[in-house]
Structure 1
């Protein structure tokens, strides 16, 4: 996707040409659904969050400056939207971890064979929100470390360390889940 074209479209939206938001929606609704789905593992909620994100983009279009990448600004809004959702629903990470843990305790009774990708998605859920977020942004959404660092108000070096640690932990969790599922 051409970031200069995206910036130009968003600047037109900022000027009041709201019909241009449809083009941005066509380009970004799928990647944004993927981001939200990987963060919350709920397709219906992810669809709602995508819709709310584009409404929020219209509402806060005045904050778009246009000197950085459009996608960085959009992901910043998406992160805030997700945080707002969790705050409003009071859905705590610990509760989510317990749900996933209960799922794995019941795995033997279910006798389901998981494919490697499904196993990886489950392993992602054991990561802290911060680790899962840096992996989703860097690996699934294709953002560069400096873009993530800017969004999170930290250094690029710090993001590199966070991604390295998240990958290392994900690998350990994945291997444990793989051994567990082989039993």
Structure 2
């Protein structure tokens, strides 16, 4: 017997089947949390955002249109949660920057960690959120530009341009390393 599709599970959930929601959570929680962790680069915050994302699925289920690809709808909710958290963090950081830094903060980031992964993650955080999202979805999640465009409500070309701008900025931030190939 075949497993129900995500869309079939969502329709069952819309009809009140709680187990269908649990199945959707089990199927997608790991992927969504990985995406969120790469977007916000904070494991605890990603866990909170994962919970907020699926809580939004419950609250917004009436806005789900049957026939819509569930994963696109879910990732849109997750991306919006990440963007909101990053926007909030920028406000907190701006407020904190206006105060005198503590001695630990004044010492700066730990320069003893030379790993490429650390540098790449730091560089990703410096990208515009739209560019970072396109880079992460295309290179890490393996999404096509058509899928990214559908997620964001833009053309595939616009998604490709966002990713390209992200790659260019990463090259600039990381020096001569080839990150887009």
Residue 60 of structure 1 aligns to a residue whose secondary structure is: helix
Equivalent residues in 2 for 1:2-17 (5 A)? 5-17=5-17
Contact 2:83/2:129 (8 A) holds in 1 = no
Alignment gaps of 5+ in structure 1 = 179-183
What is the alpha-carbon distance in structure 1 between the residues aligned to residue 14 and residue 56 of structure 2?
12
Alignment gaps of 5+ in structure 2 = none
Equivalent residues in 2 for 1:106-117 (5 A)? 106-107=108-109, 110-117=110-117
What is the alpha-carbon distance in structure 1 between the residues aligned to residue 112 and residue 166 of structure 2?
27
Q: Count residues in correspondence.
A: 169
* 1:82 alignment counterpart: 82
Offset at 1:93? 9.5
- TM-score between both structures, scaled by the size of structure 2: 0.79
1 or 2 for the larger relative contact order (CA 8 Å, sep ≥6)? 1
* 2:90 alignment counterpart: 91
* 1:36 alignment counterpart: 36
* Greater share of residues in helix: 1
* 1:72 alignment counterpart: 72
In angstroms, what is the RMSD of aligned CA positions? 3.1
Residue 16 of structure 1 aligns to a residue whose secondary structure is: coil
What is the alpha-carbon distance in structure 2 between the residues aligned to residue 39 and residue 91 of structure 1?
14
Residue 119 of structure 2 aligns to a residue whose secondary structure is: helix
Offset at 1:163? 1.0
Offset at 1:115? 1.8
Contact 2:40/2:86 (8 A) holds in 1 = no
- TM-score between both structures, scaled by the size of structure 1: 0.78
What is the alpha-carbon distance in structure 2 between the residues aligned to residue 18 and residue 135 of structure 1?
35
Contact 1:11/1:64 (8 A) holds in 2 = no
* 1:22 alignment counterpart: 22
Equivalent residues in 2 for 1:1-183 (5 A)? 5-86=5-86, 89=88, 91-92=90-91, 95=94, 106-107=108-109, 110-175=110-175
